[in-house]
Amino acid sequence: MIPVRRWAASTPLTSLVPGKIGAEEIDGLERAVELFRHWDASGHGGLHRKAVVGQLHGVIDAIQHRRPASERRRLFTIAAELSQLVGWMTYDASLPASAQRYFLFALRACEQATDVELGAKIVGDMAQLSKSLGNYDDSLGLVRTALATLPRTANPLVRAELLGHEACTYARFGSEDATSTRRSVDAAMDAFDQMAPADHRAWNRYMDRAELDSLAASAYIQLALREGRSTSSATDAEHHAVNATLVRPANRVRSRLFDDVRLSKVRLAQREPEESTELADRALTRAMAISSPQAIHRLRVHSRTLTAGYGDLAVVRAFSARLSEHLHQSDQKVSDIHA
């Protein structure tokens, strides 16, 4: 707990009086976590990260005081959820090392709250972070560990998400693991189909059909980009990517941006650069309306891939120029803030 308190020391504290927190105040904290999740889903979570860290700091202080065991468990669960959320906000701000520390603290809080399912989900988050850094062996080891901790009767949504991450990691190893990729996707779909309404807890409510399809699409896209357009992987990638765009809730702005990027990659694998660029440009328009350095990073990487293959096309050059102009304006705003 001490390191997290030190990280949060410079942020404003919320109006908690640690020695006077009871069931009513804990109810309010749980509602606050829901608000923070709404901020994150809107694509503006990074702008409010200090507020969430401040709330985490207050909860950690509250845990230090004597209170009934049931209240302590609830507070540890809130601390775990807040730290997990800050971890993702920090990752979205392109600070992976700090994000990993928050995930580790969230995992320790889960242990105190005896919440195995939330703990497994957080290990899955750590696996996803490792994959984004190119540490595929570590990612696969983490997601397998998370799956192994889940009892047979565990929340099927947690299992479905973990299997989706497993599929995405297998796909990164290339065609030699294509069979494992497909097997994990199928297992994720089967687990999701076992879901009951009560399995949607506050911290995994985002895990809907659109999210499942986006995980499957991401896995198949990796295979398709290696194999070419006339493969079953490209067909499967298109199927899941299109489904995700069709059923994604309108208020999940950042997720819809990533849906566009995934579908753009599908069109690139199908050697349709004009449509791929059109989708990438739509994603850039969405990115301009939110605050997500991670989204911009993905667009930059995708832009380099488009330019490498089709840099002679006017639409690709125009997209690249528009992205560069946005990056320049964003850098200028940062300079003005620090001036």
pLDDT per residue over 287-328, tens digit each? 999 888 889 999 999 999 999 999 999 999 999 999 999 998
Please compute the mean of the pLDDT values over residues 7-23 and round it to a whole number: 49
Q: 47 falls in which pLDDT band (50, 70, 90)?
A: low
Mean pLDDT of all residues in the chain? 88
Residue 175 lies in a domain: no
Question: Which of the residue ranges 245-249, 279-283, 330-334 would you say has the lowest mean pLDDT?
Answer: 330-334
Supply the pLDDT for residue 19: 56
For 24-33, write each residue's pLDDT tens digit: 888 888 888 9
57 alpha-carbon distance from chain centroid: 23
Please compute the mean of the pLDDT values over residues 210-230 and round it to a whole number: 90
Supply the pLDDT for residue 3: 36
Q: Which residues contact 134 (CB under 8 A, 6 or more apart)?
A: none
Phi-psi region at 135: left, alpha or beta (left = phi > 0; alpha = psi -120 to 50): beta
Residue 199 lies in a domain: no
CA nearest neighbour of 122 among 141, 99, 97, 104: 104
Residue 47 lies in a domain: yes
Say which DSSP state 14 is in: P
Residue 228 lies in a domain: no
C-alpha triplet 152, 153, 154: angle, nearest 5°: 95
Question: Which of the residue ranges 63-67, 201-205, 331-335 would you say has the lowest mean pLDDT?
Answer: 331-335
Say which DSSP state 13 is in: P
Q: Which residues contact 128 (CB under 8 A, 6 or more apart)?
A: 139, 165
- As a whole number of angstroms, the distance between CA 263 and CA 275 comes to 9
Boundary residue ending a domain (71, 87, 114): 114
Residue 15 lies in a domain: yes
Residue 129 lies in a domain: no
C-alpha triplet 125, 130, 131: angle, nearest 5°: 95
Please compute the mean of the pLDDT values over residues 71-82 and round it to a whole number: 94
CA nearest neighbour of 204 among 56, 54, 41: 41
CA atoms within 13 A on the CB side of 85: 33
What pTM value is reported for the model?
Answer: 0.88
Rounded to 10°, the helix 253-269/232-247 angle is 160
Encoded amino acid at 38, one letter: H
Supply the pLDDT for residue 227: 80
Question: Which of the residue ranges 54-58, 299-303, 330-334 would you say has the lowest mean pLDDT?
Answer: 330-334
Residue 275 lies in a domain: yes
Boundary residue ending a domain (96, 114, 132): 114
Q: Say what percent of the chain tops pLDDT 70.
A: 89
Domains contained in the chain, number: 2
Q: 33 is in which domain, residue-wise?
A: 1-114
Boundary residue ending a domain (84, 114, 144): 114
Supply the pLDDT for residue 174: 82
276 alpha-carbon distance from chain centroid: 23
Residue 70 lies in a domain: yes
Please report which helix (H) or strand (E) contains residue 317, including its range.
helix 314-338
